[in-house]
Amino acid sequence: MTQTATSTTRAVDALRELILRGEFPAGSRLGEVELAARLGVSRTPVREALTRLAAEGLVELVPNRGARVCQWSVEELDGIFELRTLLEPQLTALAVPNAGAADLAALDELATRMVEVGHPGPGQDLDALVPLNREFHAKLAELARHPALAGALATAVHAPVVLRNFHTYDEQSLRRSLAHHVEIVAALRAGDPEWARAVMTAHIRNARAVMVRAAEDQENP
């Protein structure tokens, strides 16, 4: 692999992580010069990274105005959650027969840790929930062993992650979300794909209600 290709891959991974962590909120301008300095690369890898992330649906390339983090309308966001509702419960059900003891232990640890850092109180750390949540859902998609469905889901998941993260959740919605992770592990442990599918469906519907309401509030302040 050439040095340019290596720099591009590093820039793609680093910029994607910054966007998904909320370092650049939806609508933020992404200047090549500033990003190159921040990532420690030249402008060429940054330009290629922006193009690749645009293909993933994270970045919008605006003619004569540069790049910015994507924003979604209420209708677009609602459509994204419709797609996610079709894909992720199915992947979760497919994961059930493939989840071994080590997989269940890993998922259980992630679910438990999310409850610990997300539970309302003085120790709450909503930013810490983001990578744990991403790892939990990615693990389920991996266990499904269906790359085509998992690839389609990856794009659908990005949008709501970028838009709000967990800071948008009210206390009751957040408690439901955290409990869903724990119950999904219980369904996998019981070997019940329909239970797992049902909980994941409820999980996505809960997120959809929160995110769409937040988008509506932003469009109609």
Question: What Cα–Cα distance (Å) separates residue 173 from each residue in 95, 120, 129, 183, 211?
Answer: 25, 11, 14, 15, 11
Task: Assess whether 30 and 80 both reside in one domain.
Answer: no
Domain count, the chain: 2
pLDDT attached to residue 64: 83
Q: Which domain holds residue 24?
A: 3-69
Task: Assess whether 94 and 190 both reside in one domain.
Answer: yes
Task: Assess whether 106 and 179 both reside in one domain.
Answer: yes
Task: Assess whether 79 and 52 both reside in one domain.
Answer: no
Phi, psi of 142 (to 5 degrees): -65, -45
pLDDT by residue (tens digit) across 107-147? 999 999 999 999 988 889 988 888 899 899 999 999 999 99
Short-list 69, 47, 49, 71, CA closest to 59: 69
Average pLDDT, the chain: 89
Task: Assess whether 63 and 80 both reside in one domain.
Answer: no
Low-confidence winner among 4-13, 92-101, 173-182 (lowest mean pLDDT): 4-13
pLDDT by residue (tens digit) across 141-163? 999 999 999 988 886 666 555 44
Task: Assess whether 59 and 132 both reside in one domain.
Answer: no
Task: Assess whether 143 and 202 both reside in one domain.
Answer: yes
Q: Are 85 and 44 in contact (CB under 8 A)?
A: no
pLDDT by residue (tens digit) across 63-99? 888 999 887 788 888 888 899 999 999 999 999 999 9
Residue 161 belongs to domain with CATH number: 1.20.120.530
The pTM (predicted TM-score) of the whole model is 0.79
